[in-house]
Each structure stands twice: as C-alpha cells, then as structure tokens.
Amino acid sequence: MSTALHDDVSNGVLRRMKEGGFDFASFHPIEFYALFPDEERARLATRKFRGESFHALVTERDDGVWHLQVSKVMFATYHGIDDFEHDLESVVAPLGGKLDGWGVTQEVRNLQP
C-alpha cells in the first residue's frame, strides 16, 4: 500500500471514529494485522511484541495464509498508530510478511434514556 493511500485510509478511519463519538481521551487495545506465508515466520514476529501493553496472536486462515494480530494498549492517535505500524513493518517485512491494516473496538453507547 502506498504511503499516501495508507495515510488517507488511517485519516478516514480516525475521522469516522470521531464522528461516531469514540473516546480518544482513554487508552484502548488497538489491533494491528499482518500476513505471512507460513506459521514459523508469523511466530518469529511475535517475539518482538511481548510485554504489559502487548498481546500477539497467530492463526491460520482458510486460504493457508498465517495471520498475526498484535494488540497494543495505547491512545488512538494518527501519529501513535503510524509510528507503531512502522515498527511492526520493520519486523514483518524482513520475515516475508506484509501489513494488513489496523482496527479498534468502539463501545456502543446506549441511546435509550
């Protein structure tokens, strides 16, 4: 994905989060995704993401591609997300993997009085 397209996608997601009332003042587990051709390389990547604010999960997709999900507890800011994506890519790319986006769960507020 080109840098300009990536910036547009992240900015668009963050804008929709703001419009939806997302709580940007709180920490959230933000999930970052990467894809690998095999389990071994996906598991090697998880070694770089251990600690109190990280959780890494490796699963196989139906198409045989290995999916890495790294959750990082952080503020949902453009620069924070961009910085972590660069860190993740520096681990993933040398192992033959590629980034596959990010996401965060937004709490739905009860609109009933």
- Residue 5 belongs to some domain of the structure: no
**What long-range pairs does 89-97 form, CB within 8 A, spacing at least 24?**
91/45, 91/48, 91/49, 92/34, 92/36, 92/45, 92/68, 95/36, 95/41, 95/42, 95/44, 95/45, 96/36, 96/37, 96/41, 97/34, 97/35, 97/36, 97/37, 97/41, 97/42, 97/45, 97/68
In CATH, what number is assigned to the domain containing residue 42?
A: 3.30.70.970
Whether residue 2 is predicted with pLDDT greater than 60 in this model: the reply is: no
Query: pLDDT tens-digit profile of 85-102?
Result: 999 999 999 999 999 999
**Boundaries of domain holding 71:** 27-104
- Residue 91 belongs to some domain of the structure: yes
Whether residue 29 is predicted with pLDDT greater than 70 in this model: the reply is: yes
What is the C-alpha separation between 104 and 71, in angstroms, rounded?
9
Confidence at residue 111, expressed as pLDDT on a 0 to 100 scale: 54
Query: pLDDT tens-digit profile of 43-88?
Result: 999 998 887 788 999 999 999 999 999 999 999 999 999 999 999 9
- Residue 13 belongs to some domain of the structure: no
* Domain count of the fold of the chain: 1
Q: What value does the mean pLDDT take over residues 7-27?
A: 84
